[in-house]
Structure 1
Amino acid sequence: MHFYGTAAQNALGHLTVGGVDVVDLAREYGTPLYIMDEALIRRNCRAYVESFRQHYPNFDVAYASKAFLCTAMAALAEQEGLSLDVVSGGEIATTRQAGFPMERTYFHGNNKSPEEIRLAMEVGVGRFVVDSTRELHLLENMAAERGRTVRILLRVTPGVEAHTHEYISTGQLDSKFGIPIAGGLALEAAREALRLSHVELTGFHCHIGSQIFDLEGYRIAVQRMLDLAAAVRAETGFTASELSMGGGLGVRYVEGDRPVPPEELVACLSAAVRGGAPERGLPLPKLIIEPGRSIVAEAGTTLYTVGTIKEIPGVRTYLAVDGGMGDNIRPALYHAEYECAVANKLGSERTRRVTVVGRYCESGDVLLTDVPVAADVAPGDLLAVFATGAYNYSMASHYNRFPTPAVVFVSDGRADLVVRRESFAEMAANDLLPERLRAGAPR
């Protein structure tokens, strides 16, 4: 069985993470439960930072908070010297609540609202990553009203299609994100930005996709971004001081996945920029990357309690758990795959094959298909699903009115609750019942 980070099997045959028995975690915090391996998160953060220190003189590692964000995660990122990539007013508010230095944030989004822009200006977000010329002029007008100047990166699409799922591939020409380099559109957007008085262009940003295992797409993207920077300089005299290559590095979800270590991505990007910028007569820009999944995905384990086990002879065996698509939409959304184990019976032979389903009222509520589990699995056992640290908590929903699970950080034998389990009352706290609809009211 493949273990991630600090995960291990103890003498009782139980799964431990961060030196903590998950049976104890289930007893104290209930299930479903998101367990985050703090030591592995920190190790992944440091892999990026330390690699850059070896390969490139001026850099920034901005954690893509959409992968997993709570105040504790923002605080951890700050401790590790990372900046933050935020994409909404809610992520900005969470980051600020954590006491994160807002000048180290990059505000993304293809359709930022005026209210979000206003909030970002008020709290002092460091960079706006501009996704369209409409946003460019909205920023100019709102900054002018406040008598200030905001710094921006232009998000462009370099026309690089990463080998990934179509829903998480974002660098190709046909994308809702960014301004295409093709046809001179990005060049014209740069010209327009430079004409404005309350917007300061600092450089360019791209993101070619997610769950990427092949570095060639990054190499090509760097060349196209540098070509754009050189063209803008030739046309306008402006020299980009910042170049963001986004994130997207893949992780191991199942056997057969062969992720590239962060160190190799950093070395690849650094070499491409160090070689390509001088060739075009450009000074080395500050090199920015935005890893998310590759920092937190493998650090996460979701713990469930096994309920009904339904065997259909000659067809399959369904093993139902007390969570499902409400706490992990990824299998239903884009056929994501995972590995699992019966966490309180790691010593048992894994000879029974089951399809793990949730308790939501959808036939598509399937978490894992035809996977091996302990032969003696029974109702009441604990099922651990691995590598669920990225996008699971972030994309959790209230479908069927199930509350959001709790999140714990584990490290060195200690467990800290960082997100409380939502109560039924909290889930319904924003509901309003008009007087005319109350029981007994006249129709």
Structure 2
Amino acid sequence: MTLLEIFPSLRGAMTPRMDPALWPISTRHDQRGRVCIGDVALEDIADQYGTPTYVVDESDVRHRCRTYREIFPDSEIVYAGKALMIRAMAKWVSEEGLGVDVCSAGELSIALAGGVDPSRIILHGNAKTVAELRAAARAGVGRIVIDSPSEAALLASVCTGPQKVLIRVTPGIDIHGHKAVSTGIVDQKFGLPAFSEELERTVAVVNRAANLQLIGLHCHLGSQITDPEYFRTAVATMIAQMNDIRRAHNLILTELDLGGGHGIAYRPGDSQLDLTRLACVIEESLDDACIRNRFPRPEIVLEPGRAIAARAGVTLYRVQNIKTVSGGRTFVSVDGGMSDNPRVSLYGSTYDVELVNRHSNAPVREVTVAGRHCESGDEIAVGTKLPADLHVGDLLGIPCTGAYHHSMASTYNSVCRPPVIAVLGGIARPLIRRESIDDLLAREVGM
């Protein structure tokens, strides 16, 4: 049964075109009407590697890296590894001149295995363990971001040589985003409030440690920021705080890390951050704040993650069944869901969906693309429009899934995690193999 058979009145409508703002830069249709990325048909990838599957366009990742370096030529660009931390990604961004920030021993190990220069790695985290601090110091990471006075003392005790550090500051800026990703406000777990006693105490601890060198401050306002004016306020606050430290400790800090959180579009018409405008805002606000405080201009560091990885990724699913509930919605159920994309359930995120194994001239129908898991809330896309001739076995593609999908995937319902397949120049190659049931069973040690 197809959607057109369920809704014959839909004949005559047209399938909307794919939005190029959401898909990897190499996306095109072949002569058979199939969607291709990196000159590889997504249908061929699904046939070879199964579904669900994450597909990553290497050329798109490199394009985003180069765009950042072109727009911010005088700033250091550091990829936020939590978005997608695998060896290939670390290699690509490093080859494009970016550093990498990590927040665990695992991410550090992957970055090093991917060939990232340790001096270009930044270690983050609000609850770093002794082992993680020691591993980072031994590896020679360029900077460690300190989150509390006690962590400063702990780091000083484990470093055997000099270590450059930043202190994370919360500038008290509310981006009015989802509460789970608003990190610039004071009442949350990251960092220390600007001009606070806790921050002053942390600076004093670092200054007393002969093996720690405080070189700058770090802040991160949150995720999916689309208004660059928030950064104007952040720069003003942070430079004023750096000037306050200079007066209190006779110490001139030379680095200001403004974090990331650069918003992208997930569905047609979504707002996204204009990077060219952001560059202007940072330049203007930095000049103004430094003149006002008579403070020497620091080096700016930016940490894009999602903005580098998300649009390079597409997730493929097979349609398993289609049904309409009397008086309710039409559900298109696929073979993945919240185990490979938890962002819908966690943040209420929305996604576009496209039929990618063929071109359809059929009318469109509003449907809910539902996942396979034992949760009524396992819905990948609500109110999305798909061709009415959609049928079981068709292949659907979800764009903008390169960030926080593989990274946050789980084995809920003991469903094995998908592979990650890279595409470039007509070649598809696996970066992460599909998890197997044997893998799940191998973790068990007794019964």
Alignment TM-score, normalising by the size of structure 1 = 0.94
Tell me the equivalent position of 2:345. 332
Tell me the equivalent position of 2:225. 212
> How do 1:36-47 residues align onto structure 2 when only pairs under 5 Å count?
36-47=56-67
Distance in 2, matches of 1:424 and 1:102, equals 36
Distance in 2, matches of 1:287 and 1:124, equals 21
Residues paired across the two proteins, number: 427
Q: Is the 8 A contact 1:47 1:262 kept in 2?
A: no
Distance in 1, matches of 2:221 and 2:440, equals 36
**Aligned: 1:22 with 2:42:** yes
Q: Is the 8 A contact 2:149 2:201 kept in 1?
A: no
> How do 1:89-108 residues align onto structure 2 when only pairs under 5 Å count?
89-108=105-124
Amino acid at match of 1:412: G
Of 331, 354, 368, 2:367 maps to: 354
Shift of 1:182: 4.4
Distance in 1, matches of 2:213 and 2:439, equals 43
Of 51, 76, 85, 2:71 maps to: 51
Q: Per-residue displacement from partner, 1:297-342 (whole Å, max 9, x unpaired)?
A: 1111100011021211321111111110000000001100000011
Tell me the equivalent position of 1:424. 437
Shift of 1:350: 4.9
Distance in 1, matches of 2:138 and 2:165, equals 16
Tell me the equivalent position of 1:236. 249
Q: Which has the higher contact order (CA 8 A, sep 6+)?
A: 2
Distance in 2, matches of 1:268 and 1:187, equals 28
Amino acid at match of 2:247: A
Q: Is the 8 A contact 1:20 1:413 kept in 2?
A: yes
Tell me the equivalent position of 2:172. 159
Tell me the equivalent position of 1:76. 92
Distance in 2, matches of 1:114 and 1:291, equals 27
**Aligned: 1:10 with 2:27:** no
Distance in 2, matches of 1:93 and 1:203, equals 25
Structure 1 range deviating more: 237-246 or 269-278: 269-278
Tell me the equivalent position of 1:441. none
**Aligned: 1:32 with 2:52:** yes
Q: Is the 8 A contact 1:350 1:372 kept in 2?
A: no
Structure 2: where are the runs of 5+ without partners?
Answer: 1-17
Of 130, 151, 158, 2:146 maps to: 130
Distance in 1, matches of 2:329 and 2:59, equals 38
Shift of 1:264: 2.5
Tell me the equivalent position of 1:245. 258
Q: Is the 8 A contact 1:17 1:37 kept in 2?
A: yes
Distance in 1, matches of 2:290 and 2:31, equals 56
Tell me the equivalent position of 1:406. 419
Q: Is the 8 A contact 2:174 2:184 kept in 1?
A: yes
Alignment TM-score, normalising by the size of structure 2 = 0.93
Distance in 2, matches of 1:68 and 1:198, equals 32
> How do 1:307-386 residues align onto structure 2 when only pairs under 5 Å count?
307-386=320-399
Secondary structure in 1 matching 2:196:
helix
Shift of 1:191: 2.6
Distance in 2, matches of 1:281 and 1:99, equals 40
Shift of 1:124: 1.5
Q: Is the 8 A contact 1:161 1:208 kept in 2?
A: yes
Q: Is the 8 A contact 1:170 1:208 kept in 2?
A: yes
Q: Per-residue displacement from partner, 1:217-253 (whole Å, max 9, x unpaired)?
A: 1100000000000011011110001110000010010
Q: Per-residue displacement from partner, 1:65-114 (whole Å, max 9, x unpaired)?
A: 10111100000011100000101111011111112111110000000011
Distance in 1, matches of 2:193 and 2:276, equals 29
Q: Is the 8 A contact 2:229 2:281 kept in 1?
A: no
Tell me the equivalent position of 2:407. 394
Distance in 2, matches of 1:182 and 1:237, equals 16
Tell me the equivalent position of 1:277. 290
> How do 1:256-295 residues align onto structure 2 when only pairs under 5 Å count?
256-295=269-308
Shift in CA distance, 94/350, structure 1 to aligned 2, threshold 3 Å: farther
Distance in 1, matches of 2:275 and 2:359, equals 30
Distance in 1, matches of 2:363 and 2:99, equals 42
Secondary structure in 2 matching 1:428:
helix
Shift of 1:45: 0.7
Shift of 1:205: 0.1
Tell me the equivalent position of 1:440. none
Q: Is the 8 A contact 2:226 2:274 kept in 1?
A: no
Distance in 2, matches of 1:419 and 1:278, equals 50
Structure 1 range deviating more: 238-247 or 401-410: 401-410
Greater than 4 Å deviation, 4+ residue runs: none
**Aligned: 1:197 with 2:214:** no
Distance in 1, matches of 2:210 and 2:362, equals 68
